[in-house]
A and B are shown apart, each in its own frame.
Chain A
Amino acid sequence: MAETALERTGWALRSWWLVAAMWTRSIMAYRVSFTLMLLANIATNSLDFVVLVLMFRHTDTLGGWTLPELAFLYGTSGLALGMANLLVGSIDALGQRIRAGTLDIVLIRPAPALAQLCAERFSLRRLGRPLQAGALLLWSLSELSVHWTPDRLVLLPMMLISGTVIFSCVFIGGASVQFWWDEAKELQNSFTYGGATMLQYPPTIFAKELVAGTVFGLPLAFVNWLPALRILDKPDPLGLPAAFQFASPIAAALCVAAAALAWRAGLRAYRGTGN
């Protein structure tokens, strides 16, 4: 192949952008509806935090963590999941496309299928979650007196980017399963939305085996738990080496490799139904 990997990536990103821009234009034709849905989206996502606030009316700490510390977890988890959902979340409708036979249309277009599917039905209304999570993250940072050493300053943007990549890979990896089992979408929700919910709470309240699963199994602990231990200066319930707290980019890179393998295997296994 004459084209380089760089050119291919550029073309994939451009395809994603073209599809996303098209959907944005179509949605912006109904501005009032868009605004309402965005507000509803923010309200729905805020409910989880309202519950946390109500819980903290009855206690000062949960698992040894204060409300602003939980807001830090909530903000980083929500931001990572929200950005991933915005960028690649549409992929989870893959099963529907396979069932309806419309995946073939995507495959014959001269653009990477994955990029197209990630941007399909792209909706800015999904900005609701990152906006709300970002606001809470800012609030938590203003409440917490974090001692900002250079390593902590680097960790914050690093964990947000790595977290977005990790959740994106969970979306894509989960969608790949739909090539074999087209109704796996809800199963995927347990790992994306369920995982993000889990990360909103401190690791100290969960069984150690479960926390170990998020480090060595599906590496969700790298989204926020591990780096947050360093930033907020909290003890690690698993007693892992400190290097783990900086390892989010490595975990993210491993996720990309795994998701890419799963996607290719799925695409190769796919047989069009002919319609």
Chain B
Amino acid sequence: MTLTAQLRQVEGGSAQLYLAVAGGAFRRYSTYRAATLAGAFTNTVFGCILAYTFLALWQARPGLGGYDAQQAVSYIWISQALLVTVAVWGGGFQDDVQDRFRTGDIAVDLYRPVDFQGWWLATDLGRAAFHLITRGAVPTVFGALVFDTRLPADPAVWAAFLLSVLLAVVVSFGLRFLVSLTGFWLHDSEGVRAVMLVVSMFFSGMLLPLALFPGWLGRIAVELPWAALISVPTDVLLERRTGGALVAGLAFQAGWAVLLLAAGRGVQLLATRKVVVQGG
């Protein structure tokens, strides 16, 4: 066998492996049926409360931030649908990694013949897929039935939205991966995670559309990676990003995804070296 053929075999094998890992994560989350149902209910309750607050605000200021009242209400339901999928609060693989830090299994993970970062990314994509289908769909359908929302009819918009959500999950993973890796130095990333939650909730546009942020705060917020989590995919589905703006939005997400994954890779290398020193 030539070298390239061997490499190709490994590549093919690993793609299959990651698919299997993602599928496993999907199935694992799908066993928590009651918890998923309870969670979807909570998203729906919060969606209701926040939709009313937005309606009151848009009644006082129609067309605020370039959204009409219908779009503002839709914004709430889409963001509630995305909250768990893109893990704005953190969580997902982070909980597993934290456990493995506690037990020391993390050292074993780094010497597996599978890439550490790739493994956890695959599990997180599997998790996100399950959450999009369940905790994403329930609030969306409820919101559309009970409130006057606007969802696109064009399948191309939905396709662009799904791509945007995929990129959002990868950006979110990139951020959470970096937080998890601080565990190598801090032994417990709980504190960093708490800070990240605050920043992420605020700058993702989860609480308020970034278009409503005043002055420089708004200008900075749209450039930060958190904007890729909620703000961009929501604007794609509300058809506020079409044509050039759509491409720019997706490129923005992809750029942060690549940057954060590369940063995670770099920190991972440093961490690996540190573990070698400790273990040697």
Give chain A residues whose Cβ lies under 8 Å from the Cβ of B197.
44
Q: In chain B, what residue has the closest Cβ to A54?
A: B208
Extra A-B contacts (9), CB below 8 Å, given A40-B195, A183-B35: A36-B194, A44-B198, A54-B214, A58-B60, A58-B64, A59-B57, A63-B56, A184-B38, A190-B41
Contact of A58 among B35, B61, B194 (CB under 8 A): B61
Q: Which residues of B contact A181 (CB under 8 A)?
A: 34
Q: Evaluate contact between A47 and B57: CB separation under 8 angstroms.
A: no
Interface residue B32 (Cβ < 8 Å from any Cβ of A): yes
Instruction: Given A51-B207, A206-B52, verify A59-B61 contact (CB < 8 Å).
Output: yes
What are 25 A-to-B residue pairs whose CB atoms are below 8 Å?
A36-B194, A37-B190, A37-B191, A40-B194, A43-B195, A47-B207, A54-B213, A54-B214, A57-B214, A58-B60, A58-B61, A58-B64, A59-B60, A62-B57, A181-B34, A185-B38, A186-B39, A187-B42, A190-B45, A194-B45, A194-B46, A198-B49, A201-B49, A205-B52, A206-B52
Verify B201–A183 contact, CB threshold 8 A.
no
Contact A205 B38 (CB under 8 A): no
8 Å CB contact of A37 from B32, B46, B194, B214: B194
- Interface size on A (CB < 8 Å)? 37
From 195 to 210 in chain A, residues with beta carbon under 8 angstroms from any chain B beta carbon are 197-198, 201, 204-207, 210
Q: Which chain B residues border A54 with CB–CB below 8 Å?
A: 208, 212-214
A-facing residues in B22-71 (Cβ within 8 Å): 32, 34-35, 38-39, 41-42, 45-46, 48-50, 52-53, 55-57, 60-61, 64
Q: Verify A205–B202 contact, CB threshold 8 A.
A: no
Distance between Cα atoms of A184 and B212 in the complex (Å): 35
Interface residues of B in 201-256 (CB under 8 A from A): 201-202, 207-208, 212-214
A61 is an interface residue with CB less than 8 A from chain B: yes
Q: Annotate A97-128 by CB proximity to B: 1 below 8 A, 0 otherwise.
A: 00000000000000000000000000000000
CB closest residue in chain B, given A57:
B214
Q: Enumerate chain A residues within 8 angstroms of B39, measured Cβ to Cβ.
A: 186
B42 x A190 contact (CB < 8 A): yes
